[in-house]
Amino acid sequence: MSDVVTVNHAPTAKQSGQVVKALEASANRVDWANHLFKYLFMLSAFIGVFSVGLIGYFLIKEGMPALSYAGVTNFVFGMEWVPPVLFGIAPMIVASLISALGAVVIGVPVALLTAIFLAEVAPKRVADVVRPAVELLAGIPSVVYGFFGLVIIVPMVEKVFNIPAGNTLMAAIIVLAVMILPTVIAISETALRAVPRSYKEGSLALGASPMFTIFKVLLPAARSGILAGVVLGIARAIGETMAIIMVMGNSPAMPRHLLDSARSLTANIAMEMAYATGLHSSALYTTGIVLLVFVMVLNATLLYLNREKAR
Protein backbone atom coordinates (compact mmCIF):
# COMPACT_ATOMS: atom_id res chain seq x y z
CA MET A 1 0.00 0.00 0.00
CA SER A 2 0.98 3.58 -0.41
CA ASP A 3 1.01 4.60 3.24
CA VAL A 4 3.47 3.31 5.76
CA VAL A 5 1.55 1.90 8.69
CA THR A 6 3.02 2.52 12.13
CA VAL A 7 2.08 -0.02 14.77
CA ASN A 8 1.69 1.51 18.23
CA HIS A 9 1.07 -1.61 20.29
CA ALA A 10 1.87 -5.25 19.90
CA PRO A 11 -1.13 -7.07 18.43
CA THR A 12 -2.46 -9.88 20.59
CA ALA A 13 -4.46 -12.94 19.68
CA LYS A 14 -5.60 -13.58 23.27
CA GLN A 15 -9.12 -12.47 24.26
CA SER A 16 -9.99 -11.57 27.85
CA GLY A 17 -11.64 -14.14 30.18
CA GLN A 18 -15.09 -12.57 29.87
CA VAL A 19 -15.09 -12.78 26.10
CA VAL A 20 -13.90 -16.39 26.19
CA LYS A 21 -16.69 -17.31 28.61
CA ALA A 22 -19.37 -15.66 26.51
CA LEU A 23 -18.13 -17.42 23.37
CA GLU A 24 -18.10 -20.81 25.11
CA ALA A 25 -21.62 -20.34 26.43
CA SER A 26 -22.80 -19.44 22.98
CA ALA A 27 -21.13 -22.47 21.43
CA ASN A 28 -23.00 -24.81 23.79
CA ARG A 29 -26.44 -23.23 23.45
CA VAL A 30 -29.08 -24.77 21.17
CA ASP A 31 -30.12 -22.05 18.78
CA TRP A 32 -33.93 -22.29 18.88
CA ALA A 33 -34.46 -18.99 17.09
CA ASN A 34 -32.50 -20.34 14.13
CA HIS A 35 -34.73 -23.43 13.89
CA LEU A 36 -37.87 -21.37 14.35
CA PHE A 37 -36.99 -19.03 11.53
CA LYS A 38 -36.06 -21.88 9.25
CA TYR A 39 -39.58 -23.30 9.53
CA LEU A 40 -41.14 -19.86 9.31
CA PHE A 41 -39.40 -19.29 5.98
CA MET A 42 -40.48 -22.70 4.77
CA LEU A 43 -44.08 -22.12 5.83
CA SER A 44 -44.21 -18.79 4.03
CA ALA A 45 -42.87 -20.32 0.84
CA PHE A 46 -45.39 -23.12 1.18
CA ILE A 47 -48.33 -20.68 1.37
CA GLY A 48 -47.55 -19.36 -2.12
CA VAL A 49 -47.16 -22.80 -3.66
CA PHE A 50 -50.27 -24.03 -1.88
CA SER A 51 -52.32 -21.11 -3.23
CA VAL A 52 -51.27 -21.82 -6.80
CA GLY A 53 -52.15 -25.48 -6.35
CA LEU A 54 -55.52 -24.64 -4.83
CA ILE A 55 -56.45 -22.16 -7.54
CA GLY A 56 -55.46 -24.62 -10.25
CA TYR A 57 -57.47 -27.38 -8.55
CA PHE A 58 -60.64 -25.31 -8.24
CA LEU A 59 -60.42 -24.00 -11.78
CA ILE A 60 -60.20 -27.53 -13.11
CA LYS A 61 -62.82 -28.92 -10.76
CA GLU A 62 -65.35 -26.18 -11.53
CA GLY A 63 -64.48 -25.95 -15.20
CA MET A 64 -64.69 -29.68 -15.94
CA PRO A 65 -68.50 -29.94 -16.42
CA ALA A 66 -68.57 -27.31 -19.19
CA LEU A 67 -65.43 -28.75 -20.77
CA SER A 68 -66.86 -32.25 -20.92
CA TYR A 69 -70.23 -30.90 -22.13
CA ALA A 70 -68.70 -28.96 -25.03
CA GLY A 71 -65.46 -30.86 -25.59
CA VAL A 72 -62.03 -29.23 -25.77
CA THR A 73 -62.19 -28.65 -29.52
CA ASN A 74 -65.60 -27.00 -29.50
CA PHE A 75 -64.61 -24.92 -26.51
CA VAL A 76 -61.28 -23.64 -27.77
CA PHE A 77 -62.14 -23.40 -31.47
CA GLY A 78 -65.88 -22.69 -31.20
CA MET A 79 -66.93 -19.39 -32.72
CA GLU A 80 -70.22 -18.92 -30.87
CA TRP A 81 -70.70 -17.95 -27.25
CA VAL A 82 -74.38 -18.50 -26.46
CA PRO A 83 -74.58 -19.71 -22.88
CA PRO A 84 -75.81 -22.08 -21.70
CA VAL A 85 -75.91 -23.81 -25.11
CA LEU A 86 -72.77 -22.91 -27.06
CA PHE A 87 -69.47 -22.29 -25.33
CA GLY A 88 -67.05 -21.27 -28.06
CA ILE A 89 -64.32 -18.93 -26.83
CA ALA A 90 -62.18 -18.71 -29.99
CA PRO A 91 -63.19 -15.05 -30.50
CA MET A 92 -62.00 -14.23 -26.98
CA ILE A 93 -58.74 -16.10 -27.37
CA VAL A 94 -58.13 -14.16 -30.56
CA ALA A 95 -59.09 -10.88 -28.87
CA SER A 96 -56.75 -11.54 -25.93
CA LEU A 97 -53.83 -12.54 -28.15
CA ILE A 98 -54.28 -9.72 -30.66
CA SER A 99 -54.64 -7.06 -27.99
CA ALA A 100 -51.56 -8.31 -26.15
CA LEU A 101 -49.46 -8.63 -29.30
CA GLY A 102 -50.63 -5.23 -30.54
CA ALA A 103 -49.64 -3.72 -27.21
CA VAL A 104 -46.20 -5.32 -27.57
CA VAL A 105 -45.77 -4.05 -31.12
CA ILE A 106 -46.49 -0.47 -30.04
CA GLY A 107 -45.25 -0.54 -26.46
CA VAL A 108 -41.98 -2.46 -26.67
CA PRO A 109 -40.13 -0.15 -29.08
CA VAL A 110 -41.08 2.85 -26.95
CA ALA A 111 -40.12 1.02 -23.78
CA LEU A 112 -36.82 -0.16 -25.21
CA LEU A 113 -35.78 3.30 -26.36
CA THR A 114 -36.80 4.69 -22.97
CA ALA A 115 -34.71 2.04 -21.22
CA ILE A 116 -31.70 2.89 -23.39
CA PHE A 117 -32.25 6.56 -22.64
CA LEU A 118 -32.36 5.89 -18.90
CA ALA A 119 -29.44 3.48 -18.80
CA GLU A 120 -27.06 5.08 -21.28
CA VAL A 121 -28.02 8.46 -22.64
CA ALA A 122 -29.76 10.55 -20.00
CA PRO A 123 -27.67 12.63 -17.61
CA LYS A 124 -28.17 11.40 -14.06
CA ARG A 125 -30.38 14.34 -13.12
CA VAL A 126 -32.77 13.77 -16.02
CA ALA A 127 -32.88 10.02 -15.41
CA ASP A 128 -33.72 10.70 -11.77
CA VAL A 129 -36.87 12.53 -12.89
CA VAL A 130 -37.92 10.23 -15.74
CA ARG A 131 -37.44 6.95 -13.87
CA PRO A 132 -39.82 7.69 -10.94
CA ALA A 133 -42.36 9.03 -13.43
CA VAL A 134 -42.24 5.74 -15.32
CA GLU A 135 -42.43 3.79 -12.08
CA LEU A 136 -45.50 5.80 -11.11
CA LEU A 137 -47.11 4.52 -14.29
CA ALA A 138 -46.89 1.03 -12.81
CA GLY A 139 -48.71 2.13 -9.68
CA ILE A 140 -51.78 3.59 -11.39
CA PRO A 141 -54.80 1.33 -10.79
CA SER A 142 -56.05 -0.31 -13.95
CA VAL A 143 -59.52 1.17 -13.52
CA VAL A 144 -57.91 4.57 -13.90
CA TYR A 145 -56.26 3.41 -17.13
CA GLY A 146 -59.69 2.28 -18.26
CA PHE A 147 -61.13 5.65 -17.41
CA PHE A 148 -58.33 7.39 -19.28
CA GLY A 149 -58.98 5.09 -22.23
CA LEU A 150 -62.70 5.76 -22.16
CA VAL A 151 -62.38 9.53 -21.99
CA ILE A 152 -59.35 10.08 -24.22
CA ILE A 153 -58.49 7.05 -26.38
CA VAL A 154 -61.97 5.86 -27.35
CA PRO A 155 -63.14 9.27 -28.66
CA MET A 156 -59.78 9.67 -30.36
CA VAL A 157 -60.18 6.34 -32.16
CA GLU A 158 -63.70 7.36 -33.21
CA LYS A 159 -62.40 10.61 -34.65
CA VAL A 160 -59.25 9.35 -36.34
CA PHE A 161 -60.86 6.33 -37.99
CA ASN A 162 -64.27 7.94 -38.43
CA ILE A 163 -66.28 5.12 -36.85
CA PRO A 164 -69.47 5.31 -34.77
CA ALA A 165 -68.11 3.51 -31.67
CA GLY A 166 -64.51 3.76 -30.55
CA ASN A 167 -64.72 0.84 -28.10
CA THR A 168 -62.51 -1.40 -30.17
CA LEU A 169 -59.47 -3.66 -30.22
CA MET A 170 -57.50 -0.62 -31.35
CA ALA A 171 -58.43 1.35 -28.24
CA ALA A 172 -57.52 -1.61 -26.03
CA ILE A 173 -54.17 -2.03 -27.77
CA ILE A 174 -53.26 1.59 -27.16
CA VAL A 175 -54.23 1.48 -23.49
CA LEU A 176 -52.40 -1.82 -22.97
CA ALA A 177 -49.33 -0.46 -24.74
CA VAL A 178 -49.11 2.27 -22.12
CA MET A 179 -49.80 -0.18 -19.30
CA ILE A 180 -46.93 -2.51 -20.19
CA LEU A 181 -44.42 0.34 -20.50
CA PRO A 182 -43.24 0.38 -16.86
CA THR A 183 -42.68 -3.39 -16.76
CA VAL A 184 -40.70 -3.54 -19.98
CA ILE A 185 -38.77 -0.36 -19.23
CA ALA A 186 -37.74 -1.38 -15.72
CA ILE A 187 -36.60 -4.87 -16.69
CA SER A 188 -34.83 -3.73 -19.86
CA GLU A 189 -33.03 -0.97 -18.02
CA THR A 190 -31.85 -3.43 -15.39
CA ALA A 191 -30.67 -5.78 -18.13
CA LEU A 192 -28.78 -2.99 -19.88
CA ARG A 193 -27.14 -1.89 -16.65
CA ALA A 194 -26.10 -5.46 -15.94
CA VAL A 195 -23.97 -5.58 -19.12
CA PRO A 196 -20.34 -5.56 -17.98
CA ARG A 197 -18.84 -2.09 -18.11
CA SER A 198 -15.81 -3.56 -19.84
CA TYR A 199 -17.84 -4.23 -23.02
CA LYS A 200 -18.78 -0.60 -23.27
CA GLU A 201 -15.25 0.58 -22.52
CA GLY A 202 -13.81 -1.87 -25.01
CA SER A 203 -16.11 -0.62 -27.74
CA LEU A 204 -15.57 3.08 -27.09
CA ALA A 205 -11.81 2.55 -26.85
CA LEU A 206 -11.92 1.21 -30.41
CA GLY A 207 -13.32 4.53 -31.58
CA ALA A 208 -16.89 3.24 -31.95
CA SER A 209 -19.59 5.84 -31.41
CA PRO A 210 -21.87 5.60 -28.36
CA MET A 211 -24.79 4.67 -30.65
CA PHE A 212 -22.83 1.90 -32.38
CA THR A 213 -21.82 0.66 -28.93
CA ILE A 214 -25.43 0.59 -27.75
CA PHE A 215 -26.81 -1.24 -30.77
CA LYS A 216 -23.94 -3.65 -31.47
CA VAL A 217 -22.73 -4.54 -28.00
CA LEU A 218 -25.06 -3.46 -25.21
CA LEU A 219 -28.41 -4.48 -26.72
CA PRO A 220 -27.22 -7.93 -27.89
CA ALA A 221 -25.60 -8.57 -24.52
CA ALA A 222 -28.80 -7.59 -22.71
CA ARG A 223 -31.00 -9.52 -25.12
CA SER A 224 -32.27 -12.29 -22.88
CA GLY A 225 -33.08 -9.86 -20.06
CA ILE A 226 -34.94 -7.60 -22.44
CA LEU A 227 -36.92 -10.55 -23.84
CA ALA A 228 -37.83 -11.52 -20.28
CA GLY A 229 -39.22 -8.00 -19.85
CA VAL A 230 -41.24 -8.39 -23.04
CA VAL A 231 -42.65 -11.71 -21.88
CA LEU A 232 -43.68 -10.20 -18.56
CA GLY A 233 -45.27 -7.34 -20.50
CA ILE A 234 -47.29 -9.83 -22.56
CA ALA A 235 -48.36 -11.59 -19.37
CA ARG A 236 -49.51 -8.29 -17.93
CA ALA A 237 -51.46 -7.48 -21.10
CA ILE A 238 -53.12 -10.91 -21.29
CA GLY A 239 -54.15 -10.75 -17.65
CA GLU A 240 -55.46 -7.21 -17.73
CA THR A 241 -59.21 -7.05 -17.13
CA MET A 242 -60.70 -3.82 -15.89
CA ALA A 243 -59.16 -1.40 -18.38
CA ILE A 244 -60.02 -3.76 -21.24
CA ILE A 245 -63.65 -4.09 -20.26
CA MET A 246 -63.95 -0.32 -20.27
CA VAL A 247 -62.52 0.27 -23.75
CA MET A 248 -62.90 -2.83 -25.93
CA GLY A 249 -66.69 -3.00 -26.37
CA ASN A 250 -66.96 -6.62 -25.13
CA SER A 251 -68.85 -8.12 -28.05
CA PRO A 252 -68.38 -11.92 -27.93
CA ALA A 253 -68.29 -12.17 -31.74
CA MET A 254 -65.06 -12.84 -33.62
CA PRO A 255 -63.42 -9.46 -34.38
CA ARG A 256 -62.79 -9.05 -38.10
CA HIS A 257 -60.36 -6.18 -37.83
CA LEU A 258 -58.75 -3.86 -35.29
CA LEU A 259 -61.68 -1.46 -35.37
CA ASP A 260 -64.14 -4.12 -34.21
CA SER A 261 -65.52 -4.49 -30.73
CA ALA A 262 -64.10 -7.55 -29.01
CA ARG A 263 -64.12 -9.36 -25.68
CA SER A 264 -61.02 -10.71 -23.96
CA LEU A 265 -60.89 -13.94 -21.93
CA THR A 266 -60.57 -11.94 -18.73
CA ALA A 267 -63.51 -9.69 -19.61
CA ASN A 268 -65.63 -12.74 -20.34
CA ILE A 269 -65.14 -14.02 -16.80
CA ALA A 270 -65.48 -10.69 -15.05
CA MET A 271 -68.63 -9.62 -16.85
CA GLU A 272 -70.70 -12.79 -16.56
CA MET A 273 -69.60 -14.31 -13.28
CA ALA A 274 -72.11 -12.28 -11.25
CA TYR A 275 -75.20 -13.88 -12.79
CA ALA A 276 -73.97 -17.13 -14.36
CA THR A 277 -75.26 -20.42 -12.97
CA GLY A 278 -74.79 -24.11 -13.75
CA LEU A 279 -72.96 -24.95 -16.97
CA HIS A 280 -72.62 -21.28 -17.83
CA SER A 281 -70.76 -20.66 -14.58
CA SER A 282 -68.63 -23.73 -15.23
CA ALA A 283 -67.75 -22.41 -18.68
CA LEU A 284 -66.35 -19.26 -17.09
CA TYR A 285 -64.02 -21.38 -14.96
CA THR A 286 -62.96 -23.17 -18.11
CA THR A 287 -62.15 -19.79 -19.63
CA GLY A 288 -59.95 -19.32 -16.56
CA ILE A 289 -58.17 -22.60 -17.32
CA VAL A 290 -57.35 -21.40 -20.83
CA LEU A 291 -56.02 -18.16 -19.37
CA LEU A 292 -53.91 -20.13 -16.90
CA VAL A 293 -52.46 -22.22 -19.73
CA PHE A 294 -51.43 -19.04 -21.56
CA VAL A 295 -49.74 -17.68 -18.46
CA MET A 296 -47.98 -21.00 -17.86
CA VAL A 297 -46.63 -20.98 -21.41
CA LEU A 298 -45.36 -17.44 -20.89
CA ASN A 299 -43.74 -18.37 -17.59
CA ALA A 300 -42.09 -21.37 -19.17
CA THR A 301 -40.70 -19.05 -21.84
CA LEU A 302 -39.40 -16.80 -19.09
CA LEU A 303 -37.72 -19.71 -17.32
CA TYR A 304 -36.10 -20.73 -20.56
CA LEU A 305 -34.83 -17.20 -21.20
CA ASN A 306 -33.46 -16.90 -17.69
CA ARG A 307 -31.65 -20.16 -18.04
CA GLU A 308 -30.07 -18.91 -21.23
CA LYS A 309 -28.96 -15.80 -19.35
CA ALA A 310 -27.41 -17.82 -16.56
CA ARG A 311 -25.40 -19.92 -18.97
Partner 1 sequence: MNKFDVKDLNLYYGENHALKGINLPIPERKVTALIGPSGCGKSTLLRTLNRMNDLIENVKITGNVSLDGNDIYQERNVGGLRMKVGMVFQKPNPFPMSIYENVAYGLRAQGIRDKKVIDEAVENALRGAALWDEVSDRLDGHAFGLSGGQQQRLCIARAIAIQPEVILMDEPTSALDPIATHKIEELMEELRKDYTIVIVTHSMNQAKRISDKTAVFWMGELVEHGETAQIFNSPQDERTKGYVNGDFG
Nearer to partner 1, 24 or 308 (CB): 308
> Measured between alpha carbons, how far is 201 from 146 in angstroms, rounded to an integer?
45
DSSP H or E stretch at residue 86: strand 86-87
Shortest gap between Cβ of 107 and partner 1 (angstroms)?
27
Report the residue number, 2 or 162, with the smaller CB distance to partner 1. Answer: 2
Question: Least distance (Å) from partner 1 to the CB of residue 193?
Answer: 15
What's the full length of the chain, in residues? Answer: 311
Q: Which is nearer to partner 1, 5 or 42 (CB)?
A: 5
Q: Which helix (H) or strand (E) holds 77?
A: helix 72-77
- The CA-atom distances, in angstroms, between 74 and each of 59, 87, 120 are 19, 7, 51
Return d(Cα 69, Cα 67) in angstroms, integer: 5
Nearer to partner 1, 4 or 47 (CB): 4
Shortest Å, Cβ 208 to partner 1: 4
State the residues that interact with partner 1 by CB under 8 A: 1-2, 4, 124, 196, 198-209, 212, 216-217, 220-221
**Residue 195 phi, psi dihedral angles, 5° rounding:** -65, 130
Distance CA 310, CA 228 (A): 13
Q: Alpha-carbon Rg of the chain, whole angstroms?
A: 27
Query: For residues 81 and 272, what is the distance between their CA atoms, to the nearest angstrom?
Result: 12
Closer residue to partner 1 in complex, CB, 49/205 = 205
Minimal distance in Å, beta carbon 128 to partner 1?
Answer: 13
Task: Write down the least CB distance from residue 209 to partner 1, Å.
Answer: 6
